[in-house]
């Protein structure tokens, strides 16, 4: 009996022996075989999807997610520019058009001020330059000074859009800016200079790490986006220019407009952080882009 089963075992043994270890010629378990074929099929589909049919990359998916989050925010939040984060890129685009057709004639194409005051500086005649003050001025107008009330003409939605757009122009220092009028208020809407306050810088670092590091890398050495600590800039390296790159974005290159998402205070903290790390040496910096 024992002998017989021994013989059977012998017949099942494969002929080879490795360091005295032999193996049976067992059938592979079916579940294993199917899993193996499944991985092959998965591999083929994966290769076709990403290398032949150009499926969405991680960055594309990230962008789509960001847009979806923005949309969600818009639908949840009461839509008001004073919320600072409620305007979508479409709102800003719409606001830009409304501005060009309705406001530019008096405030200038770049809001530098013509008949009406400069809307990009920190000086304000009516209110303190917060988004809700600006909205108020636009809704009610300042009829005695020749500024029409826009509420009935444009409707609330368009007013909000144009105000969101005007907010993004803050601190842009357009050419031929009209002399300041009114009282200066601590910049509500943007940083004109970088802060050296360690607290601002620390806040900026936190915001940078969550929002920007995915494309510019944690040490700002550059990845999808350019190196942000070298002397080379595509869109200018002064605090104002950096603020403007971040606030308005460079949408055609995949850098979204951050003004509606972060609002001016957070952008100014990020700029302060970026200024504080200029000239640092990232581990594997991207080659310089732009000019010194
Ligand atoms: C007919 C000319 C005219 C048009 C068009 C016009 N404005 Fe004005 N706006 C003025 C004048 C003039 C003032 C300044 C009132 C004053 O001196 O008190 C003003 C003031 C303002 C202020 C307040 C500025 C401050 O310093 O407090 C804001 C904000 C503003 N306008 C935004 C807009 C927007 C946005 C539009 C387009 C929807 C617009 N304006 C269209 C003439 C105009
Ligand atoms: C989805 C990827 C992506 C994210 C996220 C992103 N950027 Fe960018 N950024 C880019 C690209 C791409 C460019 C280059 C645009 C070009 O080639 O003109 C750029 C350009 C810039 C520039 C201008 C650089 C220059 O050389 O003039 C600054 C400043 C900047 N980004 C800052 C930021 C900050 C701050 C954040 C976070 C709030 C951020 N970026 C988030 C992709 C991104």
DSSP state letters, 134-146: HHHHHHH-BGGGT
pLDDT, one tens digit for every residue, the chain (292 residues): 456 667 777 777 888 889 999 888 888 899 999 999 999 999 999 999 888 888 888 888 888 898 888 888 777 655 444 444 457 888 889 999 999 999 999 999 999 999 999 999 888 988 878 888 898 899 989 988 889 999 888 988 899 999 989 988 888 888 889 988 988 776 544 445 677 888 889 999 999 999 999 999 999 999 989 999 999 999 888 888 898 889 888 888 888 888 878 888 889 899 999 999 998 888 888 888 888 8
Residue for token digits 């460079």? 250
Q: Which of 257, 271, 267 is nearest to 95 (CA)?
A: 257
Structure tokens at 249: 């974005």
Class of domain 81-184 as given by CATH: mainly alpha
| CB crowding 81-103: b at 16 or more within 10 Å, else e | bbbbbbbbbebbebbbebbeebb
269 C-beta closer than 6 A to ligand 2: no
Nearest CA to ligand 2 atom 30: 246
Instruction: Give the Å distance between the CA of 263 and the centre of ligand 1.
Output: 23
Looking at residue 184, what DSSP letter applies? E
Q: pLDDT per residue over 62-106, tens digit each?
A: 888 988 888 887 776 554 444 444 578 888 899 999 999 999 999
Beta strands in the chain (DSSP E): 123-124, 183-184
| Beta carbons within 8 Å of 91's beta carbon, 6+ residues apart | 74, 160, 161, 164, 165, 260
The token pair that represents 50 in the structure block: 């990403």
- In the beta sheet, which residues pair with residue 123? 184
| Distance (Å) of CA 261 to CA 114, 166, 218, 223 | 30, 15, 20, 22
Any ligand 2 atom below 6 A from CB of 149: no
Longest dimension (CA), the chain: 115
CA 171 to chain centre: 19
Q: Which pair of structure tokens corresponds to residue 287?
A: 């080659």
The whole-angstrom separation of Cα 249 and Cα 254 is: 8
- CA-closest residue to ligand 1 atom 12: 116
Let me know: does 181 contact 120? Beta carbons within 8 Å.
no
Place of tokens 């639908």: 75
The two tokens of residue 149 are 């009330």
Fold (topology level) of 198-276: Cytochrome Bc1 Complex; Chain D, domain 2 (1.10.760)
Q: Closest Cα to residue 70, out of 179, 164, 134?
A: 164
Residue to mutate (ligand 1; options 99, 104, 105, 107; most atoms within 8 A of CB): 107
Q: Could you tell me if the CB of 233 is within 6 A of ligand 2? A: yes
For ligand 2, atom 11, the nearest C-alpha belongs to 225
Identify which ligand lies nearest to the alpha carbon of 257.
2
Ligand 2 pocket, residue 272 CB under 6 Å: no
Reduce the DSSP state of residue 284 to 3 states and report it. coil
DSSP result, 236-282: --SHHHHHHHHHH-BGGGTB---HHHHHHHHHHHHHHHHHHTTT---
> Which residues does 50 contact at the CB level (< 8 Å), separation at least 6?
57
Q: Which ligand is nearest to the CA of 207?
A: 2
Check: CB of residue 125 under 8 Å from CB of residue 181.
yes
Residue range(s) in the chain whose domain bears CATH number 1.10.760.10: 81-184, 198-276
Is 125 close to ligand 1, i.e. is its CB under 6 Å away? yes
Task: Summarize pLDDT for 24-47 with one digit per residue, the tens.
Answer: 888 889 999 999 999 999 999 999
Tell me the CA–centroid distance for residue 257 and ligand 2, in Å.
Answer: 10
250 Cβ closer than 6 Å to some ligand 1 atom: no
Q: Which two tokens stand for residue 43?
A: 């591999």
Asked if residue 285 lies in contact with residue 218, where contact means CB atoms within 8 angstroms, the answer is no
């Amino acid at each position: 009996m024992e002998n017989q089963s021994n013989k059977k075992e012998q017949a099942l043994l494969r002929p080879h022996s490795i360091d005295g270890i032999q193996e049976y010629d067992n059938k592979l378990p079916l579940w294993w075989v199917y899993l193996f074929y499944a991985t092959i099929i998965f591999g083929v589909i994966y290769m076709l999807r990403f290398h032949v049919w150009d499926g969405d990359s991680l960055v594309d998916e990230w962008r789509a997610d960001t847009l979806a989050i923005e949309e969600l925010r818009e639908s949840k939040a009461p839509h008001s520019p004073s919320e600072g984060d409620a305007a979508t890129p479409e709102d800003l685009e719409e606001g830009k058009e409304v501005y060009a057709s309705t406001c530019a004639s008096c405030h200038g194409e770049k809001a530098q001020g013509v008949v009406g005051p400069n809307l990009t500086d920190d000086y304000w005649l009516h209110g303190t330059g917060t988004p809700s003050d600006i909205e108020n001025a636009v809704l009610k107008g300042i009829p005695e000074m020749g500024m029409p009330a826009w509420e009935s003409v444009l409707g609330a939605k368009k007013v909000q859009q144009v105000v969101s757009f005007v907010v993004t122009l803050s601190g842009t220092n357009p050419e031929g800016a009209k002399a300041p009028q009114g009282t200066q208020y601590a910049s509500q809407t943007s940083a004109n200079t970088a802060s050296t306050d360690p607290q601002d810088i620390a806040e900026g670092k936190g915001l940078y790490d969550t929002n920007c590091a995915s494309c510019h890398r944690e040490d700002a050495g550059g990845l999808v986006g350019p190196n942000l600590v070298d002397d080379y800039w595509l869109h200018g390296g002064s605090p104002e220019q950096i603020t403007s790159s971040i606030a308005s974005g460079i949408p055609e290159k995949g850098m979204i407009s951050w003004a509606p998402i972060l609002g001016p205070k957070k952008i100014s903290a990020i700029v302060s952080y970026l200024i504080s790390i200029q000239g640092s040496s990232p581990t594997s910096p991207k080659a310089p882009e732009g000019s010194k």
